[in-house]
């Protein structure tokens, strides 16, 4: 299936931030708690999957049976230093505070579309995942 759609992209959400990714892209997002470097995550909040030929859009999300998107945690670190100005308490005094937000870097390992067969079951590598028809 990957040979049929070599240039798949996906628009996904992490912490309410939208990212458009393809295979081997890096995502820098806010710190993900409870994950370690090397963990593989399955991303399931996908709004759109497409290729140059067409796209599949969810309202608001696409059913996770139709796709597989995996990302690996590369590192935990700090983001760029940001300067915040604090409100004035006295005339002529300017106060500033600096912060370095904690970040997590993810690498997208795989973007795959799972194709339903004629029976209505979604098959991935010959294994049935589940029904796609409403009975």
- Please check the confidence at residue 72 and state whether its pLDDT lies above 90: yes
- 100, 82 Cβ separation under 8 angstroms: yes
**What integer pLDDT is reported at residue 120 of this predicted model?**
58
- Among the listed ranges 66-80, 95-109, 115-129, which one has the minimum average pLDDT value? 115-129
Q: Which spans in the chain are helix H?
A: none
Say yes or no to pLDDT of 41 above 50. Answer: yes
Alpha-carbon distance of 114 to 67, in angstroms, equals: 5
- E strands along 52-120, which residues? 55-57, 67-78, 82-85, 96-99, 102-113, 115-116
Q: Stretch 82-95: mean pLDDT, rounded?
A: 81
Whether residue 75 is predicted with pLDDT greater than 90 in this model: the reply is yes
Across the chain, mean pLDDT equals 83
Return the SS3 of 11: strand
Residue 123: predicted pLDDT: 56
CA separation, residue 41 to residues 26, 44, 61, 89 (Å): 14, 9, 18, 46
Within 13 Å and on the Cβ side, how many CA atoms surround 120? 5
Of 40-54, 100-114, 120-134, give the lowest mean pLDDT range. Answer: 120-134
Name the strands in the sheet holding 121-124, side by side, starting at the edge strand that comes first in the sequence. Answer: 115-116, 121-124, 127-131
């Amino acid at each position: 299936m990957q040979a049929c759609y070599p240039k798949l992209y996906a628009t996904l959400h992490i912490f309410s931030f939208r990212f458009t990714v393809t295979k081997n892209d890096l995502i820098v997002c806010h710190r993900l708690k409870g994950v370690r470097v090397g963990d593989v995550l399955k991303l399931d909040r996908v709004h759109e999957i497409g290729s140059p030929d067409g796209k599949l859009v969810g309202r608001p999300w696409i059913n996770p049976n139709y796709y597989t998107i995996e990302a690996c945690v590369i590192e935990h670190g700090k983001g760029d230093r940001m300067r915040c100005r604090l409100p004035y308490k006295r005339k002529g005094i300017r106060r500033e505070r600096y912060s370095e937000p904690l970040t997590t870097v993810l690498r997208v390992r795989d973007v795959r579309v799972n194709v339903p067969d004629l029976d209505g079951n979604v098959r991935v590598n010959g294994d049935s995942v589940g029904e796609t028809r409403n009975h």
